[in-house]
Amino acid sequence: MSTTRVDARGLSCPQPVVLTSKAIEGGAESLEVLVDNEVSKENVIRVAKKNKMQTSVREEGPDIVVEIKK
Amino acid sequence: MANPFASRTGIIVVGVAIGIMATLLQYFGNPPNMGICVACFERDIAGGLGLHRAAVVQYIRPEIIGFVLGAFLAAMLAKEYRPRGGSAPLIRFFLGVFAMIGALVFLGCPWRALLRLTGGDWNAVTGLAGLAAGIGVGVYFLRSGYSLGRAYAQKPASGYLFPVFMAGLFLLLVFRVAFAEGGPLFFSQKGPGSQFAPVWVSLGAGLIIGAIAQRSRFCTMGSIRDVILLRDFHLISGVAGLVVAALAMNLILGQFKPGFAGQPVAHTDHLWNFLGMALAGLAFALAGGCPGRQLFLSGEGDLDAGIFVLGMIVGAGVSHNFAMASSPAGAAAFGPAGVIVGFLFCLAVGLTMRERAR
């Protein structure tokens, strides 16, 4: 199963959420969302939870990666 | 580290706190139904600096200064201070200009629209309906790929500029510097600009609200946008908290006076109340935050939000100098023209700023 990678770094609210939602609606079952701030991280996690998906967070240099799985 | 303010309970507590503090600020001397109004207070600052000469709305409002500094300190403590910028600053500047023009046709930002509603000013209903309609148009653009592009990290010191600018404004206020005989600085002798709570009360409330709003991401525009776009009720539960608390406080303090006619710093021109706020809502949606949120963001290092705020302050000058700002008598001579030009600008931005790549 391939992982969809969404680069939402530097984008202002609500674009990280819109991109994540679109990827989930597009059928992605495993995705990694790249963000660079706490607010985007919180918002992306909230979307994932609404879609009843699991999340985990890891840091990648200065960026934050939110891993989302069914 | 968990952020208690980011929870559902957290955002409601913040909304309630803002509702209580805003109505108390009115009780302590701020203008009626204007305990806090980000658009009006930035307009007053523009007047105090002499960017417009509407004699009744000139004062350096400490609440605005407190919002930025409170958010700055909260972001520092939470290690969320992060200077960034470069996402279409000039477009954001003009979005700020037109957001202010729209807000001053209605006579209030979204915060004041809520405070007017809870004070019994039913004209706020058309304003809020307009706000939602404008945000709805913004959501359409967001769904079809609207983006002003990404911001990039900036040098650590660059984020200090906006808080330092605000601190400078505060010094001007404290020392009431007279740069020439008769001003600037200008301070209203009558009208809303002459009505204010004691400086330290205003600053204190501003600092607290700035800090808790930064932690909770409180945003009025975002609350409506998230409902339309995502069916997400997180932010709007905070707004609901504000409305309930402000209504209760207004009833307790005897500040609730229901009706359409004769409401303070308001008019009953429903069409332009609606359209003015629709323009503001669209501009806020395209810029990613209500005017309050833009202040909190500029405090935590968002240079583009700072540009939007400057656009609003300049927009207040434009609005009053060019007879676009409404008065209690109704919409001004050039208010409708300003709103139409603003819509043309915002629609052009919404239609042309697209992210093609997936």
Contact B147 A11 (CB under 8 A): yes
CA nearest to A5 within chain B? B358
pLDDT, residue B355, reads: 79
pTM: 0.95
Contact B151 A39 (CB under 8 A): no
B32: left (phi over 0), alpha (psi -120 to 50) or beta: beta
Is residue B1 very low, low, confident or very high in pLDDT (cuts 50, 70, 90)? Answer: low
pLDDT, residue A12, reads: 86
For the cut 60, the answer to whether the pLDDT of residue B44 exceeds it is yes
Could you give the CA distance from residue B286 to residue B148 in angstroms, rounded to a whole number? 8
Tell me chain B's radius of gyration from C-alpha atoms.
19
For an interface test with A, give the residue of B1, B81, B217 to mutate (most A CBs within 10 A).
B217
Measure Cα distances from B307 to B89, B92, B299, B310 in Å. 6, 7, 12, 5
Please tell me if residue B148 touches chain A, with a CB cutoff of 8 Å: yes
Contact list, B225 vs chain A (CB under 8 Å): 14
Segment B185-206 mean pLDDT: 97
**Where do the structural domains in chain B lie, given as residue ranges?**
4-352
Segment B22-29 mean pLDDT: 98
Contact B230 A13 (CB under 8 A): no
Q: How far is B289 from chain A (nearest CA, A)?
A: 8
Segment B148-171 mean pLDDT: 96
Is residue B356 very low, low, confident or very high in pLDDT (cuts 50, 70, 90)? Answer: low
Please tell me if residue B179 touches chain A, with a CB cutoff of 8 Å: no
In this complex, which of B87, B217, B226 lies closest to A12 when CB atoms are compared? B87
Q: How far is B229 from chain A (nearest CA, A)?
A: 9
Contact A37 B288 (CB under 8 A): no
Distance, CA of B135 to chain centre: 15
Contact A10 B225 (CB under 8 A): no
CATH of segment(s) A4-64: 3.30.110.40
Could you give the CA distance from residue B310 to residue B236 in angstroms, rounded to a whole number? 27
Q: How far is A27 from chain B (nearest CA, A)?
A: 15
Q: Evaluate whether A24 touches A51 at the Cβ level (below 8 Å).
A: yes
Contact list, A9 vs chain B (CB under 8 Å): 150
For the cut 80, the answer to whether the pLDDT of residue B251 exceeds it is yes
- Weakest mean pLDDT among B124-138, B171-185, B278-292, B339-353: B171-185
Segment B200-210 mean pLDDT: 98
pLDDT, residue B102, reads: 98
pLDDT above 70 covers a percentage of chain B that reads 99
Q: How far is A30 from chain B (nearest CA, A)?
A: 17
Please tell me if residue B8 touches chain A, with a CB cutoff of 8 Å: no
Please tell me if residue B292 touches chain A, with a CB cutoff of 8 Å: no
Q: How far is B68 from chain A (nearest CA, A)?
A: 18
Please tell me if residue B217 touches chain A, with a CB cutoff of 8 Å: yes
pLDDT, residue B183, reads: 85
For the cut 50, the answer to whether the pLDDT of residue B231 exceeds it is yes
Contact A12 B148 (CB under 8 A): yes
Q: Token pair of B24, please?
A: 């108390």
Contact B230 A36 (CB under 8 A): no
Q: Token pair of B161, please?
A: 């500029």
Q: Which residues of chain A have pLDDT under 50?
A: none
Kindly give, in sequence order, each residue whose CB lies less than 8 Å from that of residue B358, ignoring residues fewer than 6 positions away. none
Sheet holding A4-7, edge to edge: A4-7, A30-35, A63-69, A54-60
CB pairs under 8 A between A and B: 52
Segment B11-16 mean pLDDT: 97
Contact A18 B143 (CB under 8 A): yes
Segment B124-145 mean pLDDT: 97
Q: How far is A15 from chain B (nearest CA, A)?
A: 8
Contact A12 B217 (CB under 8 A): no
Is residue B358 very low, low, confident or very high in pLDDT (cuts 50, 70, 90)? Answer: very low
pLDDT, residue A1, reads: 61
Q: What is the pLDDT of residues B286-325, one digit of tens each?
A: 999 999 999 999 999 999 999 999 999 999 999 999 999 9
Mean pLDDT for chain B overall:
96
